[in-house]
A and B are shown apart, each in its own frame.
Chain A
């Protein structure tokens, strides 16, 4: 676990399942991040407009705006947006498209938490 005491890194978790969001928030907080939660694309966009986030965790399938759309909107707001995609099921071509668009990694539910945290660390270290 890296100790960044000076500036906490901010993560926004976007998933329509609140339990999952809350669990992930806690996990990231345990790992020293400052984590926020949004339950839809719209919520996520307004949160992103208010605060800067170092990383987004996006559910692929959500009611209304899906993860891919949300990601492209976030990129419009900030081209340097970093995101991980989490999905229950997605077609191969959707995953390819997500990676092509610049999503760093796609995780299938149930996610391997350690792997996800490691990926997050790696991404943020690179981007810093």
Chain B
């Protein structure tokens, strides 16, 4: 936004409004005038009222005087005793009856109305606070009644037609309300005044009344004082109000001015285009940016619309957007293209309605930001990103950005693929370590923390990962560059991770095949030659030059026929020819006379490369087979001997096999018999128990005898079962190192014998270590003793002797059991161990076969032979274990 104006212009107001102080002053003056006017009016009014009241009093006084006078006049005057104060009226001297004497001698003089009025008036005048009258005339009969100046003037006014004169006058320093009315000459008046020439109806004089004004003035003053106080109060309140209003106005004015200035400043300095249009689309206001861009100014744009300024199409778009805003009554964001001088620009505009106080939109305000450049940058950025992604994809290269203190990294899409992760993966160092192959995890953790972060080294390491989504192991090459923070500690690492599995595999394969080749070559027992199809030697390899028929300097560069004798070179050259034709490998065996004697060789020949081309070669691997040939003869001799041995062994094996089959048979039988015996035991137990009960409760001797027979057979069954069980036990059970001596002693000591039998035994009193199974040895001993017992139904002697013997350079425990029973013949002796064979009257035929099985299982032998004096002798030999006997 290079065109943003930098200097902020302070907006000067264009028109100065009338001074606020002047306005306040005018208002104060007006207020003062109003208050003064009101006060004056009130004052005048009060004054007038006082005068009116005084006038009323004066008029009342006048009327009353007039009435009294009328009364006196009605009576033609009254007679009163003359006194000093009331002397006979000299001006009535012309009246004959002015002075009269009553019949009783009392003197009376005529008091005419005027005289009476005057006297009354004089009395009143002496009263300080009363209205008093004064009868007067321009032509008074009595000089004292002459009118004063005011009265004279008033009388003249009467003559001019006035009926009443009222006036406030100062007399003798006091204010009086003076009222004067004319007196017209009436018939009764002329009695006294006729001589003066008056005619009836003429203004003869007047009576003035003077009412003291002080009481009214006092009342008026009090009222005026109150009114004045009220006015003063209102005046002051008004002034204070004005002052306050002025202050508030000043504040709001300055606030408004400031905010207006700020707004104007913001508008003008905004890089965005701002405008205000009325509902009809006419511009009301635009900011400076707008003015600059579209070459208008605020003065000439007013009233114009977009149609006056922009092409029709653009204007239509703007107008539509404006109308949308007005309709929606809410802000709307639109992208607009606006034609500029330098072409079309893209704008993002926020348009919003302005509402008047009634909530009706009256204008649309728009703030439009030019995003042309941003759009271009965005597009470029998008292109760059796509290019980056594409190139990363091609290079199988992902990149990351690790915020070290924040322990979080971001990455490009391809790294997601390389790591097999999605957005939910925890992108931390720990998360990365979980991706690394377990065998690399510790190494990489250490490398990152110590080498990279610790020593501030760039990250550069090839390692294996286990791809998260499918668990496939991949090789990656991680690179990273550190960025340091202000304190010099690493804060960021940006780098790439490349999947190098294919390369690694190829490398490994290459290394493998190289190593294999090297190993093969090194492992070559003898010689290798490289020759061309003509038989010319080009290279050789030999662990030992003594095997060479000729030294290398002689044969290299020469041909096979040139170097080797004909008996060797001919078959080899023939073979080479064949190989050149077929491309198959071939072998040739030959012998050569070497300094150490005749030596046999086997040459394996293979083609290398295209034999039709000059660089085609034949590889000859030559093995010295002299020893092989010599030993072959020896082998021949051995073979014959071996055949004999094999025959012998086979025979032995067959025997062993026969025995194994027998023991296998017994094992199966044992298992089967064991379970059968177990099953039979339960019913047998019931039979035994029931038999017992029957025997107990039966009193019949015959029945008891039969029951006893049943019981005997039950215990016979029981013994058979025991035997079978022993067989089954013999087929299982492990051997372990056991001291057999105590076992022998216990068994011998605990076995019970019938009184007819004598049992003698001699057993070692030292430890006899044998690898044995105690249970089975116990069965073995018991079986042998039982066998002897069964062979002696009529009693006899049983002898058991145990001791250590040496046989075949080994030590054996030999146990010999002999009895004096029925015995057997030499022939029978071989068969006694066969299963179910018995020579005794009693017995199952299990015991001895089981015994043999046990002994064989212990690696020992058991033999039976007839006793020298009848009876039988059983000899058992068990191998002693390592450690021997003391």
Contact = CB atoms under 8 A, between A and B. Distances in A.
Interface string B300-336: 0000000000000000000000000000000000000
A124 interface: no
B378 interface: no
B681 A89 contact: yes
A27 B692 contact: yes
Contact of B674 (A17, A30, A89, A109): A89
Given A30-B696, A30-B697, A92-B775, A113 B689 contact: yes
A105 interface: no
* Across the A-B interface, the 9 shortest Cβ-Cβ residue pairs: A23-B689, A109-B685, A110-B688, A89-B678, A109-B681, A110-B685, A110-B684, A88-B681, A113-B692
Contact of A110 (B687, B693, B697, B725): B687
A124 B68 CA distance: 166
Interface of B: 674, 677-679, 681-682, 684-690, 692-693, 696-697, 714-715, 717-718, 722, 725, 729, 775
A108 to B, nearest CB: 7
Contacts of A27: 689, 692-693, 696
Given A110-B681, A110-B685, A110-B687, 19 more contacts: A17-B682, A19-B686, A23-B690, A27-B692, A27-B693, A30-B696, A86-B685, A88-B681, A89-B674, A89-B677, A92-B729, A109-B682, A109-B685, A110-B689, A110-B717, A110-B718, A111-B689, A112-B715, A113-B692
Interface in A98-126: 108-113
B689 A24 contact: yes
A27 B729 CA distance: 32
A17 B870 CA distance: 49
Contacts of B674: 89
A30 B718 CA distance: 25
A26 interface: yes
A96 to B, nearest CB: 11
Contacts of B692: 23, 27, 113
Q: Which of A26, A30, A109, A113 has the most CB of B within 10 A?
A: A109
A59 B647 CA distance: 58
Contact of A30 (B693, B715, B722): B693
A20 B775 contact: no
The residue among B681, B686, B689, B722 with the most chain A CB atoms within 10 A of its own CB is B689
A30 B695 CA distance: 12
Given A27-B689, A89-B677, A109 B696 contact: no
B85 to A, nearest CB: 155
A20 B685 CA distance: 7
Interface in A64-119: 86, 88-89, 92, 108-113
25 contacts: A17-B686, A19-B686, A19-B690, A20-B682, A23-B689, A26-B693, A88-B678, A88-B679, A88-B682, A88-B685, A89-B678, A92-B775, A109-B682, A109-B684, A109-B685, A110-B681, A110-B688, A110-B715, A110-B717, A110-B718, A111-B685, A111-B689, A112-B715, A113-B688, A113-B692
Interface string A1-37: 0000000000000000101100110110010000000
Contacts of B677: 89
A110 B686 CA distance: 7
Contacts of B685: 20, 86, 88, 109-111
**Could you say which interface size class chain A belongs to?**
10 to 19
Given A88-B678, A89-B677, A20 B696 contact: no
Contacts of B688: 110-111, 113
Contacts of A111: 685, 688-689
Contacts of B689: 20, 23-24, 27, 110-111, 113
Contacts, number: 59
Interface string A38-52: 000000000000000
A110 B678 contact: no
B342 to A, nearest CB: 98
A19 B696 CA distance: 18
B357 to A, nearest CB: 91
Nearest to B687: A110
Nearest to B732: A91
Nearest to A90: B678
A80 to B, nearest CB: 27
Contacts of A19: 686, 690
Nearest to A88: B681
A122 to B, nearest CB: 18
Contacts of A17: 682, 686
A57 to B, nearest CB: 11
A95 B92 CA distance: 185
B695 to A, nearest CB: 9
A118 B678 CA distance: 25
B690 to A, nearest CB: 5
Nearest to A108: B681
Nearest to A24: B689
A109 B722 CA distance: 10
A32 B3 CA distance: 125
A110 B688 CA distance: 6
Contacts of B696: 27, 30
B711 to A, nearest CB: 9
Contacts of A88: 678-679, 681-682, 685
A111 B688 CA distance: 7
A14 to B, nearest CB: 14
B673 to A, nearest CB: 12
A119 to B, nearest CB: 15
A30 B687 CA distance: 17
Nearest to B675: A89
A125 to B, nearest CB: 21
Nearest to A30: B696
Contacts of A23: 686, 689-690, 692-693
A66 B725 CA distance: 21
A59 to B, nearest CB: 9
A114 to B, nearest CB: 8
A95 to B, nearest CB: 11
A113 B678 CA distance: 19
Nearest to A29: B693
B690 A110 contact: no
A40 to B, nearest CB: 16
A109 to B, nearest CB: 4
Contacts of B725: 89
A30 B685 CA distance: 18
A4 B714 CA distance: 32
A81 B693 CA distance: 27
A109 B721 CA distance: 10
A30 B722 CA distance: 29
A27 B692 CA distance: 8
Contacts of A86: 685
Contacts of A30: 693, 696-697
Contacts of B679: 88
A24 B693 CA distance: 9
Nearest to A59: B682
A65 B686 CA distance: 22
A27 B696 CA distance: 9
Contacts of B687: 110
Contacts of A108: 681, 718, 722
A123 B22 CA distance: 133
Nearest to A93: B775
A23 B688 CA distance: 9
Which of B686, B696, B714 has the largest number of chain A CB atoms within 10 A? Answer: B686
